[in-house]
Structure 1
Amino acid sequence: MARNPSSLFQAVHKQLSTASTHVLQYHGFVEGGYPDVVLSNGSAQPHGELHRIAQRMTTAGVRAEVFDGENWPSVGATKNPQAKHTREIGGRFYHMEHQPRVRDDAWLRTAMVEAVAAELG
């Protein structure tokens, strides 16, 4: 659904988004050799909040990295139409991919939510 530019999900996203919108998508993946969490805005030019969230996650004990156009390409959200639309209108998009180690552990899931909340308020 998140990758279909003709979906109802995308249509609603467009209706609800403005230049002041912050969109957070939480996804899961399984990929050997990748960090526990990969953050992205769907482009090779990540915004500063992504780096600060990754640092907060790392401080909480989870290896978090930011997609920069080269590292972690399979989870960079580069084909995500919500990311594209949000960037185009000047909003902020936060795409987070989590390995099973994080998704399956209540303490780590809570730490990830708190890292995002601490940065975004």
Structure 2
Amino acid sequence: MTTHTEIRTLLECHVVGSDGEPLGRVGQVYLNDRTGRPEWVTVRSGLLGLRQTFVPLAGSRRTADEIAVPFDAEQVRTAPDVAVDGLLTAPDEVALCRHYGLGPAVPAPRRGDHDRLGAGD
């Protein structure tokens, strides 16, 4: 199980794409509800960081204050627009997985939705 301290340190990170392009700062961290491990982050971008885009942590590398993801800036910019309302539903996750080319098109069944921790939590 990931501790709140570990999750909070993710919230302080900048995200960089595979093309070296800065993508923005982490806005929220979404945990897998079975494992409690961080699985997705939202990246704040755009004017005043008001837009948040989901990016998977699969295949990412983390340094002290940076997360390098294996997706370029264009792929992140064109990700499906998923509401950042505290829940990542199974249909939203399917669309995101397809977009990022991750694993099976349908995630394993689960009890509920992903938990989220954001800067204001």
Pairwise TM-score range, normalised by the shorter structure: under 0.3
Which structure would you say has the larger RCO, counting Cα contacts within 8 Å and 6 or more residues apart?
A: 1
Higher strand share: 2
Q: Normalization by structure 2: what TM-score?
A: 0.27
Q: Which has the larger radius of gyration?
A: 1
